[in-house]
Structure 1
Amino acid sequence: MQLGTRWTSGDEPPAAVPDSIRGQIQAVDRAIPGDDLGQPRPRWTLTFLEGRPLAELETGVVVSLDAEGNAVVGHDPDDDFA
């Protein structure tokens, strides 16, 4: 069993985040505009679905692995922010 973790976007992902998705998570973080009003940045949640890593940002952005093991960025269609 693998446990997930949470962290704030823009921070270095924890060691528990597999290298296979780390680069795409960091790319998403770089694409998030800064907030001049000082609002907190959204947080990531790392879980494992059938042994595959799945990182979801509170905004509904999802980084996961496709069937070939490539990291892909998508959006949770059930998220309230959609």
Structure 2
Amino acid sequence: MQLGTRWAVGEQPPSSLPEVVAYAVSTVEEELVATDVETDGWRWTLTWLEGKPVVELDDGTVIRYNQAEDSATITQPVEPESTDYDEV
């Protein structure tokens, strides 16, 4: 059984993460910096599902590991687009 952990944005991710997942974490963090997103107090949460890491950021971004391909998939939350019917 593997236990998960949490760490702050900008800190070193756990060494138990596959390299491609750690790279995906840094890619997300670089994008947040580039777009001036305020991340004070944001944390990553690592859980292990069926022996594979799943990493989730407080904003809902999820990184999943595909062991067969040694790849990581980043899924970011989608902000709803406003329409003419949205209240002002």
TM-score after normalising by structure 1:
0.75
- The alignment status of 1:68 with 2:69, answered yes or no, reads yes
Deviation (angstroms), 1:13: 1.1
Offset from partner CA, 1:4-40 (integer Å, 9 cap, x none): 11001111112233323100001101111254xxx61
In structure 2, the partner of 1:17 is 17
In structure 1, the partner of 2:50 is 50
What is the RMSD computed on CA atoms of the aligned residues?
2.4
- Number of residue pairs matched by the alignment: 76
Identity of aligned residues (%): 37
Structure 2: how far apart are the matches of 1:72 and 1:3? Answer: 21
Larger radius of gyration: 2
Partner SS, residue 47 of structure 1: strand
Deviation (angstroms), 1:55: 0.4
Deviation (angstroms), 1:56: 0.2
Once superposed, which parts of structure 1, at least 4 consecutive aligned residues long, lie more than 4 Å away?
none
Structure 1: how far apart are the matches of 2:37 and 2:69? Answer: 34
